[in-house]
Structure 1
Amino acid sequence: MPTNFPLPRPPRLALLPFLAPLLLGGCGSVVLKPHGDIAAQQAHLVIQSTLLMLLVIVPVIIATLVFAFRYRASNTEAEYTPDWDHSTRLELMIWGVPLLIIIALGAITWISTHKLDPYRPLDRIDAQRAIAPGTKPLVVDVVAMDWKWLFVYPEQGIATLNELAVPVDRPVEFRITASTVMNTFYVPTMAGMVYAMPGMETRLNAVMNRTGEYEGLSANYSGAGFSDMHFKVRSLGDADFAAWVDASRKGGEALTRAAYLQLEKPSAKEPVRRFAKVDDGLYDLILNRCVDGTRMCTHQMMAIDAAGGGGKGGVEGVRHQSPANGQRTYVAALCTPANPLGLPDTAAR
């Protein structure tokens, strides 16, 4: 019989643990070596937690190998104690060390949860520099759409599509929402990911400490165009940021309510676009889901509900009594704000 049998090839999945560090090398270099103070603190937290957990993992792995080698069947010199059932020293080690590590991890997590709260205004630019008193953050309104990102700069009166520019060493306050489905706003080199949800607003306070061009992305699956939902992130010096704003004002188009309704339609791989002018209050209309003027804004609905509702039980919330003659009047209709789209009066109610 032949003796030169071919050796079986290892399954491809068996090579995954060896290839994983290479495949994740690019991601790890950004996440663990970011250029923003919030992301740097988060990276430090990840490293610190990993090292604490390795205090248990590494000794357990070493002990497993040592025990397997020392008490192998062929080692007749190893001590054989079949009646052994307890060791106080071993029990203290097995339970005490992990307990101390869990306490340490709990303390670190509790402190970091409050210190790195995305809603918490920043108190420093980096580990060496505090924020000067009176410094106002740059406010950027973020809208996650299918499948693109809209950034509105209320202070500058401009907007961009799939491009985010921020000045270096200046705090940035992101106000984040979505047009249709839940998404995730993520700039790995700046801060951790924050969810964007329709009809709701989440916030993120962050800062960039180095100039350059980076990548932002969506980290939550939102449909067919999700994989192309990327945007450019430019960290610029003060002079370059001012020049970028001026260029957007001169070379951009107007982002009206009607233009937004067209932009909101699903599309993928949209090029960078800049808008020189934005309709007043557009972000609030997006947040309250009433851009088209055909429905009541959600904040109006919530105000009515807070007053008792619009039905019989909420009559007191829509009543007005004149102080002059005591005459009572009641709200007979509920209307949306102005109707710049030129919709019929009946459709704007």
Structure 2
Amino acid sequence: MQNLVIRNSLLSALKTALIAGTSALMLAGCQGGVLDPKGQVGVDEKHLIVIATLLMLIVVVPVIFMTLFFAWKYREGRTQEIYTPKWSHSTKIELVVWIIPIIIVAILGTITWRSTHDLDPYKPLVHEKDHIVVEVVSLNWKWLFIYPEQGVASINELAFPTDVPVEFKITSDTTMNSFFIPQLGGQIYSMAGMETQLHLIANEAGTYDGYSANYSGEGFSGMQFKAIATPDEAGFDAWVNKLKQSPNTLSPATYAQLAKPSENNPVQYFANVNPGMFHHILHQFMPSMHGEKAVASEQGLDASHTMHDINDEMTMETEK
């Protein structure tokens, strides 16, 4: 029985070491993920992941080593290594077992506390350039990006200048999703009737993959987009001008069609956006307005009429 226990311990330790080694090699060569950041937020998050992993390895590596060593030292047939301890307690071992993990947890807790506040997604990035605003709406199963300052919008394509901070205002028209550009920074959820925020910056020009990191139904796998970091602001202006050549306008009626579930949607541009569209989308799920929308739906009224009614109600409330 003792030999079986030792053998199992040895095999378990070998498996753990093999998995750890294989994972390290795979992560070392990964591209396009969180460990290949192209923006300052992503770089800071990578440093946090690496530091936390190294701190935890201070405990993991010695445990793996000692498991292998003791399994070998007291293996079957090694009669000169008889295990006959003459003690039942060791203060020195207890100190090592408790003090080292406490120190590691204290260091890790301090680093995590500071990083959590420094990397708060709602916290604007300190930068010499003014940020640009992008309003994000997750739909089934596509992403709508509205540029209120430029007056344009797009489906499944996002663009911004390199070295310019971007403020994302995020909501959902349907189930909860998660807005995520791995190479630029952490994800944040999009929820109907709520606005979340995320601040990112790209320090290298390129095209980065973006997608939803939260399962949201059968079309989830195709809910992806491209985030284009243009080399300079002139490149971003050229992208905006390209959108302005589109014949499409994002109006309440157009949005009602977009909101219908569809899969693997192609990139689509809108040259004009009705003012306040993001807030109209956001407030359609507010308690005081949700009942009106439901009644209108039951009566067969067009969704665009409901949006106009919401606008009128918002205006009346503001005047009051």
TM-score by length of structure 2 reads: 0.81
Helix, strand or coil at the partner of 1:232: strand
What value does the CA root-mean-square deviation take over the aligned residues? 2.4
Question: 1:297 deviation in Å?
Answer: 3.6
1:287 to 273, 279, 282: 282
What percentage of aligned pairs have identical amino acids? 47
Cα separation, partners in 2 of 1:20 and 1:147, compared to 1, 3 Å? farther
Question: 1:240 deviation in Å?
Answer: 0.8
In the alignment, which residue of structure 1 is the partner of 2:221?
A: 227
d(CA) in 2 for partners of 1:115, 1:246: 35
**CA contact under 8 A between 2:284 and 2:310: conserved in structure 1?**
no
Question: 1:70 deviation in Å?
Answer: 1.1
Which range moves more in the overlay, 42-51 or 76-85? 76-85
**Unmatched runs of 5 consecutive residues or more in structure 2:** 1-14, 293-308, 314-320
In the alignment, which residue of structure 1 is the partner of 2:271?
A: 276
Q: Deviations over 1:282-337 (max 9, x none)?
A: 1001011169xxx9547x9xxxxxxxxxxxxxxxxxxxxxxxxxxxxxxxxxx733
Question: Is 1:245 equivalent to 2:261 in the alignment?
Answer: no
Question: Is 1:74 equivalent to 2:48 in the alignment?
Answer: no
d(CA) in 2 for partners of 1:162, 1:154: 17
2:209 to 191, 215, 218: 215
* Structure (1 or 2) with the larger CA radius of gyration: 1
In the alignment, which residue of structure 2 is the partner of 1:184?
A: 178
Question: 1:142 deviation in Å?
Answer: 0.3
Question: 1:49 deviation in Å?
Answer: 0.3
Question: Is 1:265 equivalent to 2:268 in the alignment?
Answer: no
**1:250 counterpart letter in structure 2:** Q
Cα separation, partners in 2 of 1:147 and 1:138, compared to 1, 3 Å? same
2:102 to 90, 99, 108: 99
Question: Is 1:164 equivalent to 2:177 in the alignment?
Answer: no
**1:337 counterpart letter in structure 2:** N
d(CA) in 2 for partners of 1:26, 1:146: 34
Q: Which runs of 4+ in 1 moved over 4 A?
A: 16-29
**1:120 counterpart letter in structure 2:** K
Q: Deviations over 1:139-168 (max 9, x none)?
A: 000000000000000000000000000110
Matches within 5 A, 1:1-349: 17=19, 30-78=33-81, 80-123=83-126, 131-132=127-128, 135-236=129-230, 237-289=232-284, 296-297=288-289, 336-338=310-312
Larger helix share, 1 or 2:
2
Question: 1:28 deviation in Å?
Answer: 5.8
Which range moves more in the overlay, 281-290 or 22-31? 22-31
d(CA) in 1 for partners of 2:217, 2:28: 27
Q: Quick one: higher RCO (CA 8 Å, sep 6+), 1 or 2?
A: 2
**1:149 counterpart letter in structure 2:** W
d(CA) in 2 for partners of 1:160, 1:230: 13
Question: 1:277 deviation in Å?
Answer: 0.3
**2:138 counterpart letter in structure 1:** A
Which range moves more in the overlay, 18-27 or 230-239? 18-27
TM-score by length of structure 1 reads: 0.75
**1:122 counterpart letter in structure 2:** L
d(CA) in 2 for partners of 1:202, 1:244: 26
**2:52 counterpart letter in structure 1:** S
In the alignment, which residue of structure 1 is the partner of 2:3?
A: none
Question: 1:81 deviation in Å?
Answer: 2.3
Count of aligned positions: 278
